[in-house]
Structure 1
Amino acid sequence: MPASEPAATDEAGPSVTLRVRIGAGEAHYGGELVAGARVLELFGDVATYLTIRTDGDEGLLTGYSSVDFTAPVRAGDFLEVTGTVRHRGRLRRTIAFEARKVVAARYEEGASSAVVLTEPQVVCRATGTSVVPVAKARAARRAG
């Protein structure tokens, strides 16, 4: 590896968090349940934000090495979605994702009832890989 190219790192890197309300139009199943694919879409948004911040380019989320859904998401819930760069290679970034429910809809108490959770509830964790173009990766290394 040329001396001008930094080695890959496994240290925790930049992190971003988005907060999103899940709307009624996103319910896909009975009981106002939302498809897990919606959470993965939010992970994609977080990956895009991260690579824009770190590399000046949207990059491309190429896949997930793990995805674990741990609790249901319903219309009316608010999610806090975080992504943290765990490994930064020359072109690839490994990102750890976590989605937490911070407000839960309470349909059993009324159509518009909700509660702020004292402890956020993890609804999904995943690990994914994002790739940035060679020119953008080189420019980010020179700048940072």
Structure 2
Amino acid sequence: MNTTAPAQQSARGEQTPETTAFLRVRVGQEEAHYGGDLVDGARILRLFGDLVTEITIRTDGDEGLLAQYSEVRFAAPVKPGDYIEARGRLVRRTRLRRVVELEAHKVLSARPGAGESAAAVLDAPQLVCSATATTVVPYRRTDTATALNPVAEET
């Protein structure tokens, strides 16, 4: 799901719509990886990768290539049965790079102690992971027709 939010300023000083992406998924039992029925952090990073890919497709007409994650912080455990909402927001763009801020929150929580299929809606979403991603997109000299927002020269 993509939304267009308040405008942000481009490298040229122009106002452009903010680009965001959103996913909500249920974590399945098959994703339990560690003792205590914990899900590995790589599951959340895969969600982040999907968000970055969607954002670069929407802004550039190309999936791009994820170059790095930085400032990765795992803040709470994820278990099978939990529902995770992940959001990404484009915060910086240059000619070849896109920088996306990412967060994942637990919004529904499995309650295995209350029964095999018990779950609860959390009063407030719980941050489980945050990160910043940098992706690289191909430089196109002539065909910018597929891009929604042409990009300024890299700074």
**1:124 counterpart = 2:141:** no
Identify, as 1 or 2, the structure richer in helix. Answer: 1
Which runs of 5 or more residues in structure 2 are unaligned? 1-9
Question: Counterparts of 1:9-88 in structure 2 under 5 Å?
Answer: 13-88=18-93
Give the TM-score, by structure 2 length: 0.81
Mean Cα deviation higher: 30-39 or 11-20: 11-20
What amino acid is aligned across from residue 27 of structure 1 in structure 2? A
Extract structure 1 runs of 4+ deviating beyond 2 A. 6-9, 140-143
1:3 aligns to what?
none
**1:96 counterpart = 2:101:** yes
User: Structure 1 pair 118/20, CA: closer, same or farther in 2 (3 Å)?
Assistant: same
Which runs of 5 or more residues in structure 1 are unaligned? 1-5
Q: What's the CA shift string for 1:13-68, capped at 9, x where partnerless? A: 31110001100000001222100011001100110111111111111111112100
Alpha-carbon separation, structure 2, partners of 1:58 and 1:104:
32
Q: What's the CA shift string for 1:76-128, capped at 9, x where partnerless? A: 10000000001011110110000000110011111111111121000000011
Q: CA RMSD in A?
A: 2.2
Give the TM-score, by structure 1 length: 0.87
Does the 8 Å CA contact 1:81/1:99 hold for their aligned counterparts? yes
Identify, as 1 or 2, the structure richer in strand. Answer: 2
Q: Percent identical across equivalent pairs?
A: 53
- Greater RCO (CA < 8 Å, at least 6 residues apart): 1
Alpha-carbon separation, structure 1, partners of 2:52 and 2:34:
27
Does the 8 Å CA contact 1:91/1:137 hold for their aligned counterparts? no
User: Structure 1 pair 64/76, CA: closer, same or farther in 2 (3 Å)?
Assistant: same
1:7 aligns to what?
11
Aligned length in residues: 137
Alpha-carbon separation, structure 2, partners of 1:136 and 1:34:
43
